[in-house]
Amino acid sequence: MLEVSVQGKALSTEGPIERAAHFIKEAFNIVALTGAGISTSAGIPDFRSPESGFFNDPETMFLFTSWGFAQNPRGFYEMGKRLLPLFLNAKPTKAHLFLARLEKMGRLRCIITQNIDGLHQKAGSERVFEVHGNLRKGRCTGCKKECTLEEISRKIADNEIPPLCDGCKSIIRPNIILFGEPLPEGVFLEAVEELKRCDLLLVIGSSLVVYPVADIPLTALEHNAKLILLNRLPTQYDDRADVVLQMYIEEAIVKLQDVGGF
Ligand code: CNA
């Protein structure tokens, strides 16, 4: 058993929380990889939680694909009209705030997130790679002109569904990556470069089934980083992780902060 001292307090590393706190204390180039699970306690459902995920409804699942959007843009925006307030009114959770704090402490290099909700930025995080895009902007599917979320929201509120470009009248789409679409290459490659320099990858709230993001833990392991997984359900990397915290994120973060004094 390892014995370390944090702020004068002896810290045993016998349990998973203690081991995770120890690795976070030891690391200076942490990268966090976050998924929808980090935002469920902010009121935004994830995709794959068995009892509450968006994917329990096959129609919603279909609308989040590139072919679903192309075939039924009206359905996509009707769903958007229902869901947008959840995203816009959500507040950062303890876990978002914890990561922002680790960055301010100079321990966390960056966050790679699959989320489109912008909650890391709301929490004060500065280096955030949004590899699945975000809701802040949209663009015309015809002339590619950019527009803001406010413009899209206004059109939806006026029942212009789907919203159309003021110029060429083609359908506007949000700047998110739908299933079946490639990731923004520049952002993803930059994120991978960060991984090559990290000494600890902290994965929070992801099922790790969506590629290419699901390869990120592998890249970190290949570059000798430690791996901590925090997720309520098992993932494909559990056997290779240094610590698996199979528990609720909020509970784990409170315990980590308590034990580690972060
Ligand atoms: P996912 O596949 O839905 O996995 C989420 C994981 O989090 C699941 O394994 C859950 O068991 C776990 N989880 C959920 N809540 C908690 C909790 N409170 N404590 C512990 N574990 C929990 O989502 P991924 O992020 O892995 O999949 C990638 C998709 C989801 C991306 O394309 C995202 O854009 C998309 N998404 C994003 C949001 C958002 O921005 N908040 C919401 C829904 C979906």
CATH 3.40.50.1220 boundaries in the chain: 1-44+92-132+183-262
Please give the sequence-ordered ranges of beta strands (E in DSSP) within the chain, or none if there are none: 3-6, 9-12, 30-34, 108-113, 128-130, 133-140, 146-148, 172-176, 200-204, 226-230, 243-245
Task: Select from 237, 254, 78, 54 the least CA-distant residue to 157.
Answer: 78
Residues 111-143 pLDDT 10s: 999 999 999 999 999 999 999 999 999 999 999
- CATH 3.30.1600.10 in the chain is located at 47-89+134-176
Nearest residue (by CA) to ligand 1, atom 14, is 37
In whole angstroms, how large is the CA radius of gyration of the chain? 20
Tokens of 160: 């212009």
CATH architecture of 1-44+92-132+183-262: 3-Layer(aba) Sandwich (3.40)
- pLDDT, residue 89, reads 94
CATH topology of domain 47-89+134-176: SIR2/SIRT2 'Small Domain' (3.30.1600)
What is the structure's pLDDT at 145? 97
How confident is the model at residue 13, as a pLDDT?
58
217-228 pLDDT, tens digit each: 999 999 999 999
47 Cα: distance to centroid of ligand 1 (angstroms): 6
CA distance 17 to 5: 15
Residues 152 and 139: their CA atoms lie apart, in Å, by 10
The finding on whether 35 has its CB within 6 A of some atom of ligand 1 is: yes
Which of ligand 1's atoms lies nearest the C-alpha of 235? 9
Q: Half-sphere exposure (CA, 13 Å, Cβ side) for 219?
A: 18
CB 113 near ligand 1, within 6 Å = no
Tell which one of 40, 41, 44, 47 to mutate to probe ligand 1, the residue whose CB is within 8 A of the most ligand atoms: 47
At residue 10, the pLDDT reads 52
C-alpha of residue 37 to centroid of ligand 1, in Å: 4
Catalytic residues: 132
Prediction pTM value: 0.94
User: Which residue CA neighbors atom 36 of ligand 1 most closely?
Assistant: 36
Distance 101 CA to ligand 1 centre (A): 22
Q: Which of 27, 107, 94 is nearest to 253 (CA)?
A: 94
For the chain, which residues score pLDDT lower than 50? Answer: 1-6, 8
Residue 38 to residue 217: CA distance in whole angstroms: 17
Q: Whose CA is nearest to atom 19 of ligand 1?
A: 248
37 CB near ligand 1 (under 6 Å): yes
